[in-house]
Amino acid sequence: MKLVIATNNRNKLREIKEIFSDMALPGEIEVLSLADFRDVPEIVEDGATLEENAVKKARVISEFTGLAAFADDTGLEVDKLNGEPGVYSARFAGEQCSYEDNNNKLLSLLEGVPEKDRGARFRCVIAVVVPGGKTYTVEGEMKGAIAISPKGANGFGYDPIFVPEGQGRRTFSEMSSEEKNNISHRSAAVRKSKEVLLEISGKSSYNK
Ligand code: IMP
């Protein structure tokens, strides 16, 4: 079975592939990415929830390729901001903003907020769509806190300012990709998707 990972984000693709290889998927599943196709339609992520966006991306790519598609939508939910930026995490600081712009905006909104009130979590929803078949979703989360200032050079997005729970005071950007993949929201969701992938590749029965 061919499975297309529906993302243009190279960092996400790398992490998903690393987690897949760690999960030892059966050889029947051949993993492709959007780089294997030409004229891929642009997808506007205008859903009101992470789930809607993940399902939309997977549906569009499954219809376009005629293959099973796998999409991730992720948001950072900050307690002090009532769950924002959430589904708007990508463009938090504006349409063409950089990761750094988003991090700076978040840090300035939390200026003066003490450590104990800087709680946040990453939530990752993965949708798997089979052509002419079912749509599955699974979810993973990682709790943590927003750092006072950016630290570390690895990862992407909000990683330099996110301190995951139970890892001392290190941000995701101060961890190796292996360390992040062991505990991250994406890793939790990707690992949960294994049952779905086995089912759709005919290896197991998924009773949902
Ligand atoms: P989307 O899922 O592509 O819509 O991503 C939403 C936003 O969250 C983007 O700004 C991403 O860079 C950021 N993001 C997604 N996953 C992660 C992650 O694992 N670490 C840090 N930031 C992330």
- Per-residue confidence (pLDDT) for residue 24, from 0 to 100: 87
**Close Cβ partners of 99 (under 8 Å, ≥ 6 residues apart):** 156, 157, 158
Per-residue pLDDT reduced to its tens digit, 168-201: 999 999 999 999 999 999 999 999 999 999 999 9
CA–centroid distance, residue 13 to ligand 1 (Å): 12
Identity of residue 19: I
Residue 35 Cα to chain centre, angstroms: 18
Residue type at 196?
V
CATH number assigned to the domain covering 2-206: 3.90.950.10
- Closest approach atom of ligand 1 to CA 9: 3
**Neighbour tally for 62: CB within 10 Å:** 25
Residue minimizing CA distance to atom 23 of ligand 1: 157
Q: The pTM is what?
A: 0.95
Ligand 1: distance of its center to the CA of 12 in Å? 8
73 belongs to the catalytic site: yes
Query: Is it the case that residue 206 has pLDDT exceeding 90?
Result: no
- Interval 22-68: pLDDT, tens: 998 888 899 999 999 999 999 999 999 999 999 999 999 999 999 99
Residue 107 has pLDDT above 80, yes or no: yes
What are the C-alpha distances in Å from 48 to residues 71, 97, 157, 175, 194?
16, 20, 21, 32, 26
User: Cβ < 6 Å from ligand 1: which residues?
Assistant: 9, 45, 73-74, 76, 89-90, 99, 102, 155-159, 172, 184, 186
| Mutational pocket test of ligand 1: of 72, 121, 158, 190, the residue with most ligand atoms within 8 Å of the beta carbon | 158
Name the burial class of residue 24, with classes exposed (0-12), middle (13-18) and buried (19+) by CB atoms within 10 angstroms of its CB: exposed
- Of 22, 39, 46, 73, the active-site residue reads 73
Q: Which of 5, 74, 98 is the best mutation target for the ligand 1 pocket, counting ligand atoms within 8 Å of the beta carbon and taking the most?
A: 74
